[in-house]
């Protein structure tokens, strides 16, 4: 059974080199792995990809030996752990604002004694039934991870309790969602800066990783200086936009 590169780095106190993918592009997975990335955030919350395409992509993650942190479009229990059965290394769940919701997620994606995930073993994660159930269950619990997103004012206020939940491995700030909510709540005492500090303190207190997406080299460095380990930088969409801008500049220079 495959071991998680993300968890190995987190356990060693090291940051994760992670990028973002929102389309069915097997070549992206291979190139990310070859470039030294440990993990790809595979986004299904805001991108429409068919179940069969997801299955194909997860097989490519295993072939390239790179972690997939999948953000699912559902909170349905069997739907969540089927992504793990198909080969996702971890799940990142959006809009987790309470410790109770975090506990329900652990219940869905972890086997006993941590949770109440259903047992099969015939998926890619169990090498298609090549392992004894006890080995499969223990390895699945040890080598898959759960990251919850802090994207609301309520989540920031509850972040200490959320971080204390056993089975939650990381906290990931959604600055766009959180920033929008802060701007539309003029009486809140929170700013994005103080919210980041609150999440970092809760993560440190409970021994959990935390992070956020970064848009620039400077923001990668800033997050790292604050102790973030889960830093996402670079995406298929961003690469496409950059290519078109550069190509257009070339054409404008030759024949404007």
Q: What is the largest CA-CA distance in the chain?
A: 66
Q: What is the pLDDT of residues 107-125, one digit of tens each?
A: 999 999 999 999 999 999 9
Asked if residues 19 and 40 have their Cβ atoms less than 8 Å apart, the reply is: yes
Whether pLDDT at 66 is above 90: yes
* Contacts for 39 with CB less than 8 Å, ≥ 6 apart: 5, 6, 16, 17, 18, 66, 67, 68, 69, 89, 90
Q: What is the pLDDT of residue 233?
A: 98
Q: Given 3.20.20.60, 3.10.129.10, 3.40.1710.10, 3.30.2010.10, which CATH number is that of 5-145+211-254? A: 3.20.20.60
Which two structure tokens, joined as six digits, stand for 22? Answer: 């929102």
Q: What is the pLDDT of residue 186?
A: 85
Q: What is the pLDDT of residues 10-23, one digit of tens each?
A: 999 999 999 999 99
Average pLDDT over residues 77-102: 98
Domain extent listing, the chain: 5-145+211-254
Q: What is the pLDDT of residues 67-86, one digit of tens each?
A: 999 999 999 999 999 999 99
Q: What is the pLDDT of residue 256?
A: 76
Mean per-residue pLDDT over the chain, rounded:
97
Asked if residues 49 and 24 have their Cβ atoms less than 8 Å apart, the reply is: yes
Q: What are phi and psi of 213, to 5 degrees?
A: -75, 150
Whether pLDDT at 232 is above 80: yes
Query: Looking at 46, 131, 135, 184, which residue is catalytic?
Result: 46
Q: Is 23 a catalytic residue?
A: no
Q: What is the pLDDT of residues 133-192, one digit of tens each?
A: 999 999 999 999 999 999 999 999 999 999 999 999 999 999 999 999 999 998 999 999
Average pLDDT over residues 24-44: 98
């Amino acid at each position: 059974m495959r071991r998680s590169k993300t968890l190995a780095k987190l356990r060693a106190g090291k940051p994760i080199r992670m990028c973002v993918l929102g389309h069915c592009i097997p070549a992206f997975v291979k190139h990310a792995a070859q470039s030294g990335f440990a993990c790809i955030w595979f986004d299904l919350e805001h991108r429409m990809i068919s179940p069969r395409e997801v299955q194909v992509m997860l097989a490519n993650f295993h072939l390239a030996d790179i972690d997939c942190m999948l953000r699912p479009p559902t909170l349905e229990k069997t739907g969540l752990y089927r992504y793990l059965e198909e080969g996702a290394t971890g799940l990142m769940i959006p809009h987790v604002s309470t410790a109770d919701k975090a506990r329900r997620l652990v219940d869905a994606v972890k086997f006993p004694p941590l949770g109440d995930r259903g047992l099969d073993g015939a998926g890619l994660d169990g090498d298609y039934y090549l392992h004894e159930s006890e080995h499969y269950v223990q390895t699945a619990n040890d080598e898959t991870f759960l990251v919850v997103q802090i994207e609301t004012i309520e989540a920031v206020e509850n972040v200490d309790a959320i971080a204390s939940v056993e089975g939650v491995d990381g906290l990931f700030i959604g600055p766009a969602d959180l920033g929008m909510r802060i701007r539309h709540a003029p009486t809140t005492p929170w700013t994005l800066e103080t919210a980041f500090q609150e999440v970092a303190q809760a993560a440190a207190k409970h021994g959990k990783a935390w992070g956020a997406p970064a848009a620039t080299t400077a923001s990668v460095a800033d997050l790292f200086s604050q102790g973030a380990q889960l830093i996402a930088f670079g995406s298929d969409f961003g690469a496409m936009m950059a290519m078109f801008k550069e190509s257009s500049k070339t054409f404008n220079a030759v024949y404007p």
